[in-house]
Amino acid sequence: MSTITLNHEEAKQYAINKLVGAGLIEAHAEKVAEILIHADLRNVNSHGVLRTEHYVNRLKAGGINPNANITFNQTAPTTGIVDGDNGFGHVIGDFAIEKAIQMAKENGIGMVTVMNSSHCGALSYFVQKAAEANLIGIAMSHTDKIVVPFGGKHSFLGTNPIAYGIPAKKHKPFILDMATSTVALGKVLQHKEEGKSIPEGWGVDENGQPVTDPNKVVSLTPFGGPKGYGLSLIVDIFSGLLAGAAFGPHIGKMYDDLDKKRHLGHYFCVFNPTNFVDLETFLARMDQMIDELHESEPAPGYSKVYIPGEIEQQNEESNRVNGITIAKSVYDYLTD
Ligand SMILES: NC(=O)c1ccc[n+]([C@@H]2O[C@H](COP(=O)([O-])OP(=O)(O)OC[C@H]3O[C@@H](n4cnc5c(N)ncnc54)[C@H](O)[C@@H]3O)[C@@H](O)[C@H]2O)c1
């Protein structure tokens, strides 16, 4: 694949131009582009500016509200519901995590469900915000079906990601951000393009049988068998059912029905560690845990034991200086 490396601010401006050109209001385009660049800086390119073309197509077809009026209904001192008015999930998610952070600062915890949203990108962005405020953040989003339930033949669940952000003091925050499928569909497609077989367990055919030929993959598998399946359902219950949104097979398609609003749900929870433990003690103990993990001896074939989020944080540090690397085809689209 031909790639190009460019400054992240330049790439951000290209994405803003495309989104505004498709009718999105400037303030929302800024936030969407910021979160796409957050992903590209971390080398999570699957959720970076690569997605701009799809968003533009959906905007143009009428499947996303370009001028959403995002509202908040606070249902208790620590809970509330965000209605995203079918705008961009990135903007709606950012609005929701800010509400959760505010409630956590005032009342110890803030829990927010989101309805009438759309694809919100990399969840790490939202939980990192909480961790940077010395709070603990949790985020979940359901997505349309591509993953089989454990023991099932046909897809029912989305890749349903879940993320946790936890602050430390001398170290960067712990950021676990993971889809609940064994791998993202993009990884299967990449093997297909490169003519390589995939490891058994990544995907199944139309009969629910594991396959190693990427051309035969119809659905993905949940990670860790019944455990990942259970966690994926939790994501769908918290960000779907609890948010008054659809579940599993009833969720609006990402890449079909571009003219239809998706009415997606998300779930955010932020809480203050000081409601349980002295902050300085907690941060120092997080640092100690990270130090001890770093000191633990790597197994053969590994150079180091990493903390969740650490590799992405190292990528970000380097990419801020050296630029982000994206597919040439994506660059051509953005600059066309
Ligand atoms: N919004 C949506 O609808 C949606 C849906 C699916 C995925 N996503 C996003 O896709 C992105 C990628 O998800 P993914 O599951 O492919 O991520 P991944 O498999 O690349 O990483 C999952 C987690 O494992 C950690 N990790 C990886 N290698 C590690 C190592 N050697 N040591 C310690 N930790 C390590 C990462 O830091 C990360 O926290 C995420 O940002 C996710 O939010 C979003």
Has residue 233 got a pLDDT over 90?
Answer: yes
Q: Is residue 147 part of a domain?
A: no
Q: Is residue 31 part of a domain?
A: yes
247-251's contacts with Cβ under 8 Å and 24+ in sequence apart are: 247/142, 248/145, 248/156, 248/157, 248/158, 249/145, 249/155, 249/156, 251/142, 251/143, 251/144, 251/145, 251/158
Q: Whose CA is nearest to atom 27 of ligand 1?
A: 308
Torsion angles phi and psi, residue 317, rounded to 5? -55, -45
Q: What is the pTM of this model?
A: 0.97
Q: Which CA distances in Å does 217 have to 89, 111, 209, 224, 282?
A: 28, 37, 9, 18, 45
Bridge partner residues of 112 (DSSP): 80, 268
Has residue 217 got a pLDDT over 80?
Answer: yes
Which of 46, 47, 50, 305 has most ligand 1 atoms within 8 Å of CB, for mutation?
A: 47
Q: Please, which residues have CB within 8 angstroms of residue 277's CB and are 6 or more apart in sequence? A: none
Has residue 83 got a pLDDT over 90?
Answer: yes
35: left (phi over 0), alpha (psi -120 to 50) or beta: alpha
Q: Please tell me if the CB atom of residue 312 comes closer than 6 angstroms to any atom of ligand 1.
A: yes
Q: Which atom of ligand 1 is nearest to the CA of 120?
A: 1
Distance 161 CA to ligand 1 centre (A): 8
119 is catalytic: yes
Distance 69 CA to ligand 1 centre (A): 30
Give me the mean pLDDT over the 89-99 stretch. 98
Q: Please tell me if the CB atom of residue 90 comes closer than 6 angstroms to any atom of ligand 1.
A: no
User: What pLDDT, in 10s, does the model give residues 306-327?
Assistant: 999 999 999 999 999 999 999 9
Give me the mean pLDDT over the 44-66 stretch. 96
Q: Is residue 201 part of a domain?
A: yes
CATH number of the domain enclosing 321: 1.10.1530.10
Give me the mean pLDDT over the 179-186 stretch. 91
Bridge partner residues of 271 (DSSP): 109, 136
The residue range of the domain holding 194 is: 182-221
Place of tokens 């809480």: 271
Domain total of the chain = 2
Q: Please, which residues have CB within 8 angstroms of residue 90's CB and are 6 or more apart in sequence? A: 31, 32, 34, 35, 36, 120, 121, 125
Torsion angles phi and psi, residue 163, rounded to 5? -140, 145
Has residue 193 got a pLDDT over 80?
Answer: no
Q: Please tell me if the CB atom of residue 44 comes closer than 6 angstroms to any atom of ligand 1.
A: yes
Q: Is residue 28 part of a domain?
A: yes
User: What pLDDT, in 10s, does the model give residues 238-261?
Assistant: 999 999 999 999 999 999 999 999
Has residue 88 got a pLDDT over 90?
Answer: yes
Burial of 250 (0-12, 13-18, 19+ CB in 10 A): exposed
Q: Is residue 38 part of a domain?
A: yes
Distance 222 CA to ligand 1 centre (A): 14
Distance 148 CA to ligand 1 centre (A): 19
Last residue of a domain, one of 165, 190, 221: 221
Distance 190 CA to ligand 1 centre (A): 17
User: What pLDDT, in 10s, does the model give residues 17-29?
Assistant: 999 999 999 999 9
Q: Is residue 130 part of a domain?
A: no
Q: Please tell me if the CB atom of residue 184 comes closer than 6 angstroms to any atom of ligand 1.
A: yes
Q: Are 128 and 316 in contact (CB under 8 A)?
A: no
Q: Is residue 321 part of a domain?
A: yes
pLDDT at 185: 85
Q: Is residue 213 part of a domain?
A: yes
pLDDT band per the 50, 70, 90 thresholds, residue 186: confident
CATH number of the domain enclosing 212: 3.30.60.50
Bridge partner residues of 163 (DSSP): 139, 177
Per DSSP bridges, beta strands 79-83 and 71-76 are antiparallel
Q: Whose CA is nearest to atom 42 of ligand 1?
A: 122
Has residue 278 got a pLDDT over 80?
Answer: yes
pLDDT band per the 50, 70, 90 thresholds, residue 1: confident
Q: Please tell me if the CB atom of residue 231 comes closer than 6 angstroms to any atom of ligand 1.
A: no
Which of the residues 8, 119, 142, 263 is marked catalytic?
119
Q: Please tell me if the CB atom of residue 66 comes closer than 6 angstroms to any atom of ligand 1.
A: no
Has residue 147 got a pLDDT over 90?
Answer: yes
Structure tokens at 28: 């929302």
Q: Please tell me if the CB atom of residue 65 comes closer than 6 angstroms to any atom of ligand 1.
A: no
pLDDT band per the 50, 70, 90 thresholds, residue 192: confident
